[in-house]
Amino acid sequence: MPQETFAVCLGRQIGSGGHTIALEIAKKLNLHFYDNDLIHLAAAECGFNKELFEHKDEERTYLRSFFTNFIPFIGQSDFYRNQVDEESLFAILSQTIKELSEQYNSIFVGRCAEYILRHKPKMTSIFVCADMPDRISRVSNDQHITPEAARKLILANDKRRASFHNFYSEKHWGEADTYDLCINSSKLGMEGTVDFIIDFIQQRIK
């Protein structure tokens, strides 16, 4: 009988280092890593150009007007026949996450994965946050923008992620009772945060 796979679902604030932390966890635990590439898998699954999904999978908006702009990619008749909307997109993403989690030991970043996989016995959900000065500094350096612009980007990004998550999930993005573990990467640093989370995951999957 095949051994049951386990999944790690990691939500994060922009500027918390969550993406880098997830990559390090994947490397040290030999996990399949899924973030933006999940969009490409979902696009291939439904037969649409991946550009239809980019930048929209964590933003809760009505997608009909968005898809209308890309009718040349998919064909007007296909668009109206398939009735593509945001619920259809989320259903495609959800199915992709579920199927991947059954095939491989995996870590999923964002995409409401902890809710989608809530019934999976071996699933650990993590949320990574950080102090605002550290977030501003990281985003400012990574994006080559001023601290003021970084702060605006952070607030707007948090709002979009929360809107997407809270629309589809029964719990709230970033709140402690939504996850198995919430951790502030400013307190232990990147390496310390990675080690702490790995230890927590290993205790959970024993």
CATH code at position 127 = 3.40.50.300
Q: In this structure, how many other beta carbons lie within 10 angstroms of the beta carbon of residue 184?
A: 15
What's the pLDDT score for residue 86? 66
Q: Rounded to whole angstroms, how far apart are CA atoms 124 and 201?
A: 7
What's the pLDDT score for residue 199? 96
- More confident site: 92 or 100: 100
Q: For residue 191, tell me if it sits in a domain.
A: yes
Please give the tally of structural domains in the chain.
1
Structure pTM? 0.81
What's the pLDDT score for residue 49? 59
Q: Rounded to whole angstroms, how far apart are CA atoms 103 and 155?
A: 36
pLDDT in tens, 48-99: 656 655 544 554 443 333 333 333 333 444 443 444 566 777 787 888 889 8
Contact assessment for residue 8 and residue 25, using Cβ atoms and an 8 Å cutoff: yes
Residue 174, C-beta contacts closer than 8 angstroms, at least 6 positions apart: 11, 13, 127, 129, 158, 162, 182
Q: For residue 89, tell me if it sits in a domain.
A: yes
pLDDT in tens, 127-185: 999 999 999 999 999 999 999 999 999 999 999 888 888 888 888 999 999 999 999 99
Boundaries of domain holding 169: 7-204
